[in-house]
Structure 1
Amino acid sequence: MQFLDWTVLGAYLAGMLALAFYLGQRQTSREDYYLGGHRLPGWALAGSIIATQCSTNSLLGAPAFVGFSAGGGLLWLQYELAVPLAMLLLCALFLPIYRSRSISIYAYLEKRLGLQARLLASACFLFFRGVATGVTVYGVAAVIGLITGIPFTAAVLLLMGITITYDVLGGMRAVVISDVLQMALLLAAVFLALFWLAEPLSLHWHSLADRTRPLLDDWGLSSGNNYGFWPMLLGGLFLYTAYYGCDQSQAQRLQSARDESQLYRILVLNGVLRFPLVLAYCLVGLGLAAYAVEHPGFVAALPHTAAGSPNLNLVFPAFVAANFPAGLAGLAIVGLFAAAMSSIDSALNSLSAGTVEDFIARFRPLPEKRLFLLSKLATLGWGLFAVAFSFQVERIAPTVLEAINKVGSMANGPLLMLFTLAILWPALGQRAAIAGFLGGLACNLLIWAQLPQVSWLWWNVSGFLAGWLCAVAVGLGRLILPSAGFPLWVPRRQGLQLAAMTVLILLVCTLLQFA
C-alpha cells in the first residue's frame, strides 16, 4: 500500500468514528441502542443483513473455492437458491416472534415454553457467535497484515479498535448505517475487480463453464461430497431458516422493523438481492482463475500456508495489489475492512443484547439508565473477548473455521425445532422442547461419529427432524401417561445450569472437531 491508499483507508475509518459519535448522542435507552428506536428504513435494515452475510471470509473464500478448488465453479450458487425459500418460510411462520417487539428474540421462547428454553437458546447463541466472531477477527487481521505489511497484533488492534469504538458509541443505528456504506464499498471493490478481469474471463469462459454444472444426482449421503445440489439446497434451506430466524445477530435487525409491512419488505429484499451479490464475487473467482491461466506465476507467488502450499484465500487481495493503481487499491482494501466490520459490529451488538436481556435484565430489575450503560459495557466486553480469542485461534487448530461451521450445523436444526415448536405446538411443554433439543443434538453427534460420508449440511435437517420426534414422543407421553412424569434431571428452576450444561456439550463437540 502506498501513501494515497493509506489516506483512503484513514479517511474511511475516521468517518466511521465521527458517524458513531454523532449517532450516539441521540440514544437514551436500550431500545435505541439495540433496535434503533424502530425508526430505521427497511431498505437500510435489509442492506445491513446482506452486508453481514457477505463478510471478508466470503469475499476471500468464495473466489478461492469457485476459481481454484476441485469441484468449484459456480456450484457455490446452489447454496444461494435456499435463501429466497428461507425468507418465505420466515414470512409464513416467524411473524409472531417479530410482532413481540422484544429486544431478545429468545424472550419469545420463555413466553411460549418457559425460562429454561429461553436460557438454553440464548446460551447456544452466545457460545457460537462469540467464538465465530473471534475466528473472524483472526482471519481478517491475518489478511490485513499480509496486505499492508503491519504485524498481526497491530492489524487486530486497528480493526477492532475502530469497530468496538463505533459499536459502543453508536449502537444499532451506527451498525446499520455503517453496514450500508460498507456494502457500497464492497460492491465498488467487486465491480472494479470484474472490470479488470472482464477480458481474461471472456477469453476463458467456455473452459471455465464446464465446471459449473450442478450435481443433481449427488445427495451427499454416501459420496463424502459436502457440496452436492440436494444437501446445499435442502440443508441450506434449514440452515438459513435457522440462521435468519433463530440467531440474534440476524433477527435483531428484523426486530428493529417499524411494522409488519416493513418487515415483509426487509425479508423480500434480502431474498432477492443477496443472490446477485454472491454471483458477482463468484464471477470474480472465475475471473481470477482465468487471470491465473494467463499469468502462470500468479498462484505460485502467493504467500504460502504453514503446509507450504499457496494460500488461495489471498488470490483477490494479491490481484488487487498487482493491478490496481494507488488510490483504487486503497478503495479495495477499504472494501475488505468494510466487509469485516459489517460482520463484527452486528455480532458484538447482538452478543451484548443476548447477555443483557437474557442473563441480566431478566433476573434483576435495574433502572433503565444503568441497563443502558451495561449494554455498552457488554459490547465492549465481547469485543475484548473476540480480540483475546483471535490470538488463540491458530494454536487451537488450522481448520478452526470449518470446525466451527460444522458444530454450528449440529445445533441449527435443534434450535429451529425449539422455535417452530414454540410457534406451532407450545402445549407440548418446555420439558418436551428441551428433550427434543438434546435429542436432535445427540442425533447429529451420532451421524457425525458413525456416518462421516454424510454431508454436514444434512445435519441441519436431521437435527430438526430428530428434535421434533423426541419432543412429540416426550410431550405426548406426558399427556398419555401423566403419572410417568418423564422428568428431566435438571430441576425446573435451574435454567442457568441447563444453559451451562449445553454450552459445555457444544464446547466438547468443538474440541472433538478440532481433534
Structure 2
Amino acid sequence: MGKIDWIILIGTLLSIVIYGVWKTRINKDVSDYVLGGNKSKWWTIGLSVMATQASAITFLSTPGQAFHDGMGFVQFYFGLPIAMIIICMVFIPIYHRLKVYTAYEFLERRFDLKTRTLAAILFLIQRGLAAGITIFAPSIILSAVLGWDLKTLNIIIGSLVIIYTVSGGTNAVSVTQKQQMFVIMTGMFIAFFFILGYLPADITFTKALKIAGASEKLNILDFSLNTQSRYTFWSGITGGMFLALAYFGTDQSQVQRYLSGKSIRESQLGLIFNGILKIPMQFFILLVGVMVFVFYQYNPSPLNFNPAATKAVLESDLADNYKILEESHRTLEVEKAEAQLAFSKALSLQDEQKKQSTKEEMLSLIARDRSNREAAKAMIHEANTIVEVNDKDYVFIHFILNYLPKGLIGLLLAVILSAAMSSTASELNALGTISALDLYKRNKKTNMPPEHYVKVSKLFTLLWGIIAILIACVANLFDNLIQLVNIIGSIFYGNVLGIFLLAFFFKYIRSNAVFISAILTQIVVIIVFQLDWMSYLWLNAFGCTFVILLAFVLESFDRLHKGPTVDVTK
C-alpha cells in the first residue's frame, strides 16, 4: 500500500465517524436516540436497511463464493421480495399503530413479559455473536494479507463504530450508512470495470460471460428438491423467505431502521426499495466474483489464496511436496489460458464443433485445477491443523492488493471497513436498545426521567461494543464467513418468527403455550443442526413451523382451563 492508499483509507473512515458524531450530537430523549425522532425518509430507511445487511462479509465472501461455486448463491435471496411485501402489509402497520420502540415490546402486549423477555434474550445471543463476526471477518483477512495485528484491527474497527453509535444512536447509524453505501457501491463498480479492463484485448464482456458460462459459473437456477443442497430455487423461495421475514420483521437491528420512519408509508417504501434492489445488488457482487474467476484464467493465481496457509505449509516438513504441487499448478495455468483463448477464438469464428471441443478441454483443466487446490488444502491441513485452508474469503482481497493501482487499493479497503462499520453499528444500536428497554427499563421498579434511559442505552451500546470486540478476538474462521452469519441467524430466526406469527395471526394461542413451545423448539432446532439433518436455510421454515404446531398442541391441552385471549392489536 502506498501513501495515497493510506490517505484515502484513513480519510474515508474518519470522515464517516466525524460526520456521524457531528450530525447527531443532540438526543433529547429515548425517542430521539432509539427512533431518530421518527424523521427518516424512505430512501434513508432503504439505504440503511441495505447497509445493515451488507456487511464486510458480503464484499469479502460473496465474490469468493462466486469464484469457487458460481452464481447459484443468488437463489438465497429469491424469497426476500415476498418477505418485504408481507412485512409491509402486516408487521409495519401494527408496529406503528402500537408506537413500540422495539419489536419485542409488541410481544408483551400480545402475550406477557416472559415471552417478551425470552424473545429479547434469543435476539441478544444470536445478534451479539453476529456483531463479533462482522468485526472479525474483515480483521482476520486484512491481518493475513497485510500483516497487520489481528487484535489491533478488531479494536480499531470496533472502536470507530462505538464512537458514533454511542454518541448519536439510531440517527447516527442511518446518516452514516448513506455515506457508507455510496463508498461501497462506488468501490465495487470501479473494481468491476478494472477487472474487465485487465482481460485480454479480444475478450469482451460478452465473451467473458460465455467463458464463465462454459466453465459452469453462471448456473443460477437449481430446481432440485434435495434438502441437503444449500442453494436451490426452492430453499431460497421458502427458507430464504422465512429467514428474510424473521430478519427484517423481528430482528431489532432491522426493525429499528424502519421504526424511525416519518410515517407508515415512508417505512413501507424503504423496505420495498430494499426488496427491489437487494437481488440485483447481490447478483452484481456475485458477477464481480465470476469476472475475477475469468481474470484468473489468464493471469497467475496462488494455489491457495490465504497467505497464512501458504506460509504455514512452506515452513513445514511438507514444503518440498507443496512446491512440486505449485509447479504443477503453474503449468496447468498456462494450459488453462491457452484453452480459454482457443474457446474465445471458436466463439469468434462461430465454429460449433470447435467450440464444443475447446469447452470440454476447459472443463477438464478446471477439474484438474480444482483437484490440485483440494490436494493443497489437504497438505496445508496436514502441516498445520489450526490455519484455515478454505480460501474463499481471500480471493477478492488478493485481487485488490495485487492488481488494482495505488489509490484504488485504499478505496477498496475503505469499502470493506465501511461495510463492517455500517453493519456492526446497526447491531450495536439494536443490542443496546433491547438491553435498555426490553430488559432494564421493563424490569426496573421505579420510573426514571427520559434522560436516564438515554444514558442507559448509551452504556449498554458501549458494553455490547466491547463484548463484540472480545468475541472478534477469540473467534475462529468458518467454512465461509457469509454462510456463518446466516447459519447463526437460521438457528434462532425461525423460532422467533414463529412467535411473532402466532402473535399476529393466531389469537387462539396464549402466552404459556407460546413460551413453552419456544423453549422446546429452540432446543430441537439446535439438535437438528448438530445432527446435520437439513441444510441451514431449511432450519428457518422448520423452526417457524415447529413452534406454531407445538403451541397449538400445548394450547389444546390447556384451553379448557383459561379465559379468552385479549387482542391488543385492534
TM over 0.5: yes
Moved over 6 A (4+): none
Instruction: Give 1:294's match in structure 2, choosing from 284, 292, 298.
Output: 298
The 3 A distance-change label for structure 1 pair 343 and 274 is same
Structure 2 counterpart of 1:501 = none
Deviates more, 1:452-461 or 1:268-277: 452-461
Q: Secondary structure at 2:34's aligned position in 1?
A: helix
Alpha-carbon distance in 2 for matches of 1:435, 1:404: 27
Pair 1:226 & 2:223 matched = no
Equivalent position SS for 1:342: helix
Change beyond 3 A, Cα 1:449–1:126: closer
The whole-number CA distance in structure 1 between the counterparts of 2:172 and 2:552 is 43
After TM superposition, give the deviation of residue 398 of structure 1 in Å. Answer: 4.6
Q: What is the TM-score normalised by the length of structure 2?
A: 0.79
Residue in 2 that maps onto 1:469? 549
Q: Answer whether contact 2:250 2:497 (CA < 8 A) is retained.
A: yes
Gaps of 5+ in 1: 486-515
- Decide whether the 8 Å contact of 2:52 with 2:253 is kept in 1: no
Deviation for aligned residue 1:444: 2.6
Partner of 1:413: 494
Q: Deviations over 1:375-430 (max 9, x none)?
A: 11111111111111211113xx7559556643431321211111111111234210
1:323 aligns with: 403
Q: For the Cα contact (< 8 Å) 1:320–1:329, is it kept in 2?
A: yes
Q: Which residue of 1 aligns with 2:31?
A: 31
Give the structure 2 partner of residue 65 of structure 1.
65
Unpaired runs of 5+ residues, structure 2, are 200-204, 313-376, 381-388, 564-570
Structure 2 residue corresponding to 1:89, chosen from 86, 90, 96: 86
CA contact (8 A) 1:226 1:455 kept: yes
Q: What is the identity, as a one-letter code, of the residue corresponding to 1:78? A: Q
Q: TM-score if structure 1 supplies the norm length?
A: 0.87
Quote the Cα distance in structure 1 between the aligned partners of 2:304 and 2:555: 60
CA distance in 2, matches of 1:303, 1:249: 34
Report the Cα distance in structure 1 between the residues aligned to 2:149 and 2:491, rounded to whole angstroms: 35
- Report the Cα offset of residue 17 of structure 1: 2.9
What CA distance in whole angstroms lies between the structure 2 residues aligned with 1:114 and 1:310?
A: 46
How far off is 1:26 after superposition? 2.2
Give the aligned partner of residue 188 of structure 1.
186
One-letter code aligned to 1:276:
P
Query: Would you say the 8 A contact 1:9–1:330 is kept in 2?
Result: yes
Contact 1:413/1:464, CA 8 A, preserved across alignment: yes
Q: How is 1:335-414 mapped onto 2 (pairs within 5 angstroms)?
A: 335-364=415-444, 365-394=447-476, 398=478, 402=483, 405-414=486-495
Partner of 2:286: 282
SS at match of 2:442: coil
Q: What is the rounded CA distance, in whole Å, between the counterparts of 2:407 and 2:145 in structure 1?
A: 15
Deviations 1:151-197 (A, max 9, x none): 11221222122111111112111111111111111101110111012
Q: CA deviation at 1:471?
A: 0.9
Letter in 2 for 1:220: N
What aligned pairs does 1:447-462 form with structure 2 within 5 A after superposition? 447-448=528-529, 452-462=532-542
- Taking the aligned partners of 2:14 and 2:488, their CA distance within structure 1 comes to 37
Distance 1:404 1:205, change over 3 A: closer
Which letter does structure 1 place at the counterpart of 2:233? F
- What is aligned with 2:97? 99
Q: Is the 8 A contact 2:393 2:480 kept in 1?
A: no
SS in 2 for 1:26: coil
Q: What is residue 211 of structure 1 aligned with on the other side?
A: 217
Distance 1:150-1:403 versus aligned 2 partners, 3 A rule: closer
Deviates more, 1:41-50 or 1:302-311: 302-311
CA drift at 1:354: 0.3
Structure 1 counterpart of 2:151: 153
Is the Cα contact below 8 Å between 2:45 and 2:271 reproduced in 1?
A: no
The amino acid that maps onto 1:265 is L
Aligned 8 A contact 1:238 1:413 in 2? yes
Point out the structure with max Rg over C-alpha. Answer: 2
Q: What is the aligned partner in structure 1 of residue 374 from structure 2? A: none
The within-5 A match list for 1:41-52 is 41-52=41-52
The code of the aligned residue for 2:225 comes to: W
What's the CA shift for 1:231? 1.4
Cα RMSD for the two superposed structures: 2.1
Q: Which moved more, 1:283-292 or 1:419-428?
A: 419-428
The answer to which of 296-305 and 171-180 deviates more is 296-305
Q: Residue in 2 aligned with 1:496?
A: none
Equivalent residue number for residue 559 of structure 2: 479
Partner letter of residue 272 of structure 2?
V
Number of aligned pairs? Answer: 475
**Identical aligned residues as a percent:** 27
**Aligned residues of 1:292 and 1:299 also touching (Cα < 8 A):** no
Matches within 5 A, 1:219-258: 219-221=225-227, 224-258=228-262
Give CA-to-partner distance per residue, 1:344-370, whole Å, 9 cap, x none: 001001000000001111122222111
Is contact 1:220–1:231 with CA below 8 Å preserved after alignment? no
Q: Secondary structure at the match of 2:225?
A: coil
Amino acid at match of 1:238: F
| 156 and 456 in structure 1: CA distance in 2 versus 1, 3 angstrom threshold | closer
Deviation, structure 1 residue 29: 1.2
- Aligned mates of 1:442, 1:18 — CA distance in 2: 44
Residues 121-154 of structure 1, C-alpha deviations (whole Å, 9 max, x = no match): 0000001111111122112111232344321122
Cα distance between partner residues in 1 of 2:154 and 2:523: 37
CA distance in structure 2 between the aligned counterparts of 1:310 and 1:110, rounded to whole angstroms:
44
Alignment partners' CA distance in 1, 2:282 and 2:33 = 30
Letter of the 1:36 counterpart: G
d(CA) in 2 for partners of 1:311 and 1:82? 28
* Counterpart AA for 2:535: S
Q: CA deviation at 1:449?
A: 5.1
CA 113–213 in structure 1, closer or farther in 2 if over 3 Å, else same: same
CA distance in structure 1 between the partners assigned to 2:480 and 2:123 by the alignment: 18
Contact 1:304 1:310 in 2 (8 A): no
Post-superposition shift, 1:54? 1.3
* Structure 1 residues 38 and 319: CA distance shift in structure 2, 3 A: same
8 Å CA contact retained: 1:432, 1:474: yes
Partner of 1:332: 412
Contact kept in structure 2, 1:356 and 1:371, CA below 8 Å: yes
| Partner Cα separation in structure 1 for residue 217 and residue 480 of structure 2 | 28
**Secondary structure, counterpart of 2:419 in structure 1:** helix
